Amino acid sequence: MAKILIVEDEEKLARFLELELAHEGYAVAKAGDGRTGLTMAEGGGFDLIVLDIMLPELSGLELLRRLRRVSSVPVILLTARGAVTDKVSGLDMGANDYITKPFAIEELLARIRVLLRPRAEEAAEDEHILRGCGIEMNTLSHAVTYAGAPVELTNREFVLLKTLLTNRNIAMTREQLLETAWGYDYMGETNVVDVYVRYIRQKTADNVITTIRGVGYMIKTE
């Protein structure tokens, strides 16, 4: 669930935005002045900020200027009709978009969706990324890198490495690894796991996979 911060001193508008955004499934927090808004924004945890320019204590533009020193969170400015200078200044300071008051809530929601889409895609992609000991594996594309360099793995090597990465910091027995990478009906010797571990080490580094004596293998990240 994306979390949105509303920085708006007009209480009725802030409440309206809060209800509409909550209805759309967003988690919402509010600040009624620029200084409070800056403190909350700098605290992090927000996926997007809806920021009014005309605020007490600290203007929206000054808030944005200070925020950009520490954060690249998307910001949509709320501006007065015809305030061209404010729009230009806001965009120059790092605002991602602006919307002019009064506005249709549907337009604001559409702009929010556009700005959140890349983050949602990154988050979805990250769900398919496994990392450990310098290895990064994309389980969808089957792309694997070690220390940033691409690594070509056979399908069996990929499945074996994926099993170890998925269960990193857990000692996996040879039997467990056989069941995952070779299947329950595999009738060969368990030392085939040792052979494929050696292949993976040759393509990455010896310390990527740790041998746990009397047990099997593990990828340690702790």
Listed as own residue / partner, the contacts of 158-161 with beta carbons closer than 8 Å and 24 or more positions apart are 160/193, 160/196, 160/197, 160/200, 161/135, 161/137, 161/200
The pLDDT value recorded for residue 89 is 84
The pLDDT value recorded for residue 34 is 95
Sheet of 48-52, strands arranged across? 27-31, 3-7, 48-52, 75-79, 97-100
The reply to whether 138 and 122 lie within a common domain is: no
The pLDDT value recorded for residue 181 is 81
- The pTM of the full predicted model, rounded to 2 decimals, is 0.56
The reply to whether 162 and 205 lie within a common domain is: yes
The pLDDT value recorded for residue 203 is 95
The pLDDT value recorded for residue 7 is 97
Which of 126, 156, 185 represents a domain boundary (last residue)? 126
The reply to whether 135 and 113 lie within a common domain is: no
The pLDDT value recorded for residue 82 is 67
The pLDDT value recorded for residue 187 is 64
Domain of residue 157: give its range.
Answer: 129-218
The reply to whether 41 and 9 lie within a common domain is: yes
Residues 6+ apart with CB under 8 A from 176: 163, 216
The reply to whether 110 and 67 lie within a common domain is: yes
The reply to whether 137 and 101 lie within a common domain is: no
The reply to whether 99 and 138 lie within a common domain is: no
Q: What is the mean pLDDT of each run of 10 residues along the chain (222 residues)?
A: 92 95 94 95 90 93 91 89 76 88 92 82 66 89 92 93 92 89 69 93 94 93 72
Total domain count, the chain? 2
Which of 126, 156, 175 represents a domain boundary (last residue)? 126
CATH number, residue 116: 3.40.50.2300
Give the integer Cα–Cα distance in Å for 157 and 160: 5
The reply to whether 114 and 176 lie within a common domain is: no
The reply to whether 47 and 89 lie within a common domain is: yes
